[in-house]
Chain A
Amino acid sequence: MNFVLLFLITIFSLSLFFYGRSKTKTISIKENIKLNALPKFYGYYLVLWCSIPALVFLLVWSLFEPVIIKSIIIETAANQGAIFSDKNEANLIYEKIKAIHLGTYFGDIDSILKESALAYAKFINLFTNSKVVLIFGIIIASVIYSLKKIKNNNKARDDVEAILKGLLFVSSLIAILTTLGIIFSLLFESIKFFSVINVFDYLFGTNWSPQRAFVRDASSITAAEFEELKDAFGFIPLIAGTSFIAFIAMLVAVPIGLFSGIYMAEYASIKVRRISKPIIEILAGIPTVVYGFFAALTVGPFFRQVGENLGLTVSSESALAAGLIMGIMIIPYVSSLSDDVINSVPQSLRDGSYAVGATKSETIKQVVIPAALPGIIGSVLLAVSRAIGETMIVVMAAGLAANLTINPLESTTTITTQIVMILVGDQEFDSPKTQSAFALGLTLFIATLILNYIAQRAVKKYREKYD
């Protein structure tokens, strides 16, 4: 039905475009007046007025229709004697009714369900009919309004501008609101978590074993159980593991990325640049899961083998393997960004340095790099936040046990890995175990936020104006 409506709205709008265009043309010729806008703007004006109100109405209606029908049906079912004790059972009955209506229900059908299904069919019908009627009503009303405006030779060009501006504004509003929505959903779930687990126990605890709280309703935790859970959600091992792996990754990515960026910008001939730059950027396009199994299946076992030969115990899932591969993943970001900032350092600075007799490497070290430093810091911090947020590689290659260790050969875990582990599989959404994922998400979000803030401050402070 909705597709038919969309189709009709499109057809109407298009025909109105041509109508509006020719209509204003004839008016201007017949009455010999100067139009306030080009004829096509009157066409656009009609199109926008015909389509936007109807589309908005359709969208809102489609959002609320199921909710309203559901509450009505559940109520009628209850009136007919259906028994349900809580929301979940009510939902179940509603789904059954819907399935009967669609003919996909194969269980026993009692009289209550049958009656309700009939009622459901009735309501669906009613709602669809009223939707169609209302939409046509809206279209007719808005078209009449806009036609009247056009007859008065309105400033259609300005009006179209205003409507478009409104559309753009709504788009950015949606972007901002969804972000806010994500933050608030994180925040509320985290608050639930922190009502059970003390914030300080979480922030400074050194033991992370959330499975102890598995399938335990947060509201029914006894004092004894609480004591037991108190030290199950220690954040320290996770942030330590995260920073450690990110550190190893940066150890790989920053020097290699920066040096390759310098080579690309300063030394490589145009020919080399044209071939090698895309190749490096291909690295950035490889899905992280591919890096992940490369790390888990190739690099990890290789390190263990080497370790065995050297007489070291190396876990086959190690921070070293994960960090190394993550570093390789990040190289193109550092390389390509620093290449860009180095390229944007004006040639006149290099000339000035050469002119006092500096060599190329002296010029790069003492003039070009300092001038490009803010951009380089920015690219490095961007790489750090990618390293911290990266999930797939660590899930596959770093292990799951929350070890508090600084031995790169042992397995360790990160915040993102734990979020994945907690939310994979069947969940009890009241359990502190599940809610801890949101707390972790929130902490990660705040950490990256702080990092970005520091990055911006650093960039501002060290920005050397070279113009």
Chain B
Amino acid sequence: MSNIKIKSKNLDVFYGDKQALFDVNLDLNEKEVTALIGPSGCGKSTFIRCINRMNDVIDICKVTGNIEMDGMDINDKNLDVVALREKVGMVFQKPNPFPKSIYDNISYGPKIHGKGETKSELDQIVENSLKKSALWEEVKDRLDEPGTSLSGGQQQRLCIARAISVNPEVILMDEPCSALDPIATAKIEELIDELKKTYTIVIVTHSMAQAVRVSQKTGFFHLGKLIEVGKTEKIFKNPDNKMTQDYITGRFG
């Protein structure tokens, strides 16, 4: 059994008066892929945005309860958010490369954190990140072209490379393939399989098939509540909860 990397306990999230998450208790294992499934608006994205405190960006958002990474309280007011986000990378639903060159897209993070002080070190980081995200072969000759000139799938892998570049421990993926075609999706999934050797990964997805393919553990959310969580195999073959059963068989959602 692998170690627990992130542990949430009685986690509640409010957007203004509206409660988005109710009492979520979810453990994420180290170097494993956890998939979060559920209908739109059920709180999956809200949950992963708690892990890197992205909810701070939203003024009216309030998080209560407990969420820990390696025993460190993520919700601590005095926590250095920058340091947290260095450890917890994130890939978004829509590829969002910066309007900069491919090289600058990757070197942006390391530069900010003072990694790669010399040019050659930085070059090395860029190369490694692109190799890990399986993009290196496609872009190595045009690193100074704008990141936005790449195709959608390449852009998303660029964003994964950008997340990897600061050498995180956890990578959060918010529907990373929802804007991509099946071929690009297959590449990303392959990549996730590879990345889980090094990183703890949480992926939000609307595709049940994708959850089955990439994850070892699956959590099912509905209306802000974590309905059921368990080994992916079990959730999809023999769920305990009737609602989970209905959802994965396509009866609602």
Instruction: Please report A residues at the B interface, Cβ cutoff 8 Å.
Output: 269, 346, 348-359, 362, 366-367, 370-371, 464-467
Contacts and interface: CB of A to CB of B under 8 A. Distances in A.
Interface of B: 52, 54, 57, 59, 81-86, 89-90, 92, 94, 96-100, 108-109, 112-113, 146, 148, 159, 162-163, 165-166
18 contacts: A269-B59, A348-B92, A349-B98, A354-B54, A354-B57, A355-B52, A355-B85, A356-B86, A356-B112, A356-B166, A357-B85, A357-B166, A366-B108, A464-B148, A465-B99, A465-B146, A466-B99, A467-B148
A368 B82 CA distance: 18
A432 B89 CA distance: 72
B127 to A, nearest CB: 18
A353 B90 CA distance: 10
A355 B99 contact: no
B113 A357 contact: yes
Nearest to A372: B99
B98 A359 contact: no
B100 A351 contact: no
B100 to A, nearest CB: 7
Contact of B92 (A269, A351, A358, A362): A351
A136 to B, nearest CB: 67
Residue of A349, A352, A354, A371 ringed by the most chain B CB atoms within 10 A? A352
Contact of A356 (B59, B97, B109): B109
B89 A356 contact: yes
B99 A357 contact: no
Given A355-B52, A356-B163, A357-B113, A348 B57 contact: no
Contacts of B89: 355-356
A355 B54 contact: yes
B251 to A, nearest CB: 33
Across chains A and B, which 10 residue pairs bring their CB atoms closest together, nearest first? A464-B99, A356-B109, A357-B85, A355-B90, A348-B96, A357-B86, A352-B96, A357-B82, A466-B99, A371-B99
Contact of B112 (A357, A370, A466): A357
A346 B148 CA distance: 14
Residue of A351, A357, A362 ringed by the most chain B CB atoms within 10 A? A357
Nearest to B82: A357
A356 B165 CA distance: 9
What is the predominant secondary structure among interface residues of chain A facing chain B? helix
B168 to A, nearest CB: 9
B163 A464 contact: no
B96 A346 contact: yes
Contacts of A362: 112
B108 A356 contact: yes
Contact of A351 (B54, B99, B108, B146): B54
A97 B98 CA distance: 77
Contacts of B84: 357
Residue of A269, A356, A362 ringed by the most chain B CB atoms within 10 A? A356
A362 B166 CA distance: 16
A464 B145 CA distance: 12
A418 B62 CA distance: 62
Nearest to B172: A355
Contacts of B92: 348, 351-352, 355
A419 to B, nearest CB: 43
A358 B54 CA distance: 12
Contact of A358 (B59, B94, B112): B112
A348 B89 CA distance: 15
Contact of B148 (A351, A353, A359, A465): A465
Contacts of A356: 85-86, 89, 108-109, 112, 162-163, 165-166
Contacts of B100: 370, 464
A413 B137 CA distance: 62
A74 B94 CA distance: 79
A357 B83 contact: yes
Contacts of B83: 357
A367 B96 CA distance: 12
Contacts of A350: 57
A464 B148 CA distance: 9
A351 B112 contact: no
Contacts of A353: 98, 108
B57 A352 contact: no
B96 A464 contact: no
Residue of A358, A370, A465, A467 ringed by the most chain B CB atoms within 10 A? A358
A358 B83 CA distance: 9
Residue of B82, B90, B98 ringed by the most chain A CB atoms within 10 A? B98
